[in-house]
Amino acid sequence: MKIGTGGLAAIAGLILSSFGLFAFGQGTPVTVSLTNVNGDPIVNVGGESVYAGVYGGTSNLPGANTGIICDDFNDEVSVPQSWSAIAYNVSTIGTSTPITDVLFGSGTKGYTNVGIAGYAEIAYLVNMSFASSGNPTLQGNISEAIWAITDPGLSGVDSAAQTLDSQAAAYASSTSDNMSQYTNLVIYTPTPLGQQNQPQEMWSTVPEGGAAWLYLLLVGIACFGAMRFSPRGQSGKHEAI
């Protein structure tokens, strides 16, 4: 079936309704699923032996990649479990996504408010973990480092993780760091916040810049169609072992 340019504009509008919220950071309701922890490293921290690293899991966010990382040592999830969350592109945190919308900026349940700087450190470490496939020791240390940011009183954090925290803090405070660079990362913040048996906040990856690029492309198509074909005169945590 042929589709005229006016039809393309209409289709673009429909697709925008699906992608626009995510692209500009207001958040997209999703379902997150933890499918397995097979092969994930086990670390001893906080008086527990827990799974760390990149868990097997994903969401129904269009384009989201498989693999999720936990930034939340306070809560627990298990295999198999699914829960409701809001997906935020990390590049929008502190701009179109207020820091109060994500778990460790909300003040929920008395959790530490790590601020933009804390989330910038976590983003640095999450990127490092996803890039460290095949190095479970490093991925385990990275998880400890992330949990030490969101839970400053966490005990048993080893020296390697502490070094990673210092490295992340130095990068986050440098002029080269900017949250807008993390278009490849997404945060899944459980909803509603403060619920009983609250699930964990997770991070995952999406094609870098993909949602924002698609949004801008479709806006261009829609605007062109409207200008060219409008009628004249028409107003216009982890799982413990």
Q: pLDDT tens, position by position, for the chain (241 residues)?
A: 323 334 434 444 444 344 444 444 469 999 999 999 988 999 999 999 999 999 999 999 999 999 999 999 989 999 999 999 999 999 999 999 999 999 999 888 788 899 999 999 999 999 999 999 889 999 999 999 999 999 999 999 999 999 999 999 999 998 777 899 999 999 999 999 888 899 999 999 998 654 444 433 433 444 444 333 333 333 334 544 4
Amino acid at the residue 67: G
Per-residue pLDDT at 36: 93
Query: What is the predicted pLDDT for the residue at 176?
Result: 72
Long-range contacts from 225-229, C-beta under 8 angstroms, 24+ separation:
225/5, 225/6, 225/8, 225/9, 225/10, 225/12, 226/9, 228/5, 229/5, 229/6, 229/9
User: By the 8 A CB rule, do 123 and 69 touch?
Assistant: no
Ranges of each domain in the chain: 22-217
> Which pLDDT score, from 0 to 100, does residue 156 have?
93
pLDDT at 26: 64
- Residue 195 is predicted with a pLDDT of 86
Question: Which of 140, 68, 82, 74 has its CA nearest to residue 112?
Answer: 74
What is the structure's pLDDT at 209?
A: 54
Sequence-ordered list of residues with C-beta below 8 angstroms from that of 65, at least 6 positions apart, any chain = 58, 204, 205, 206, 207
Tokens of 72: 């939340």
- Please state the pTM of the whole predicted model: 0.79
Look at residue 49 in the predicted model and tell me its pLDDT: 93
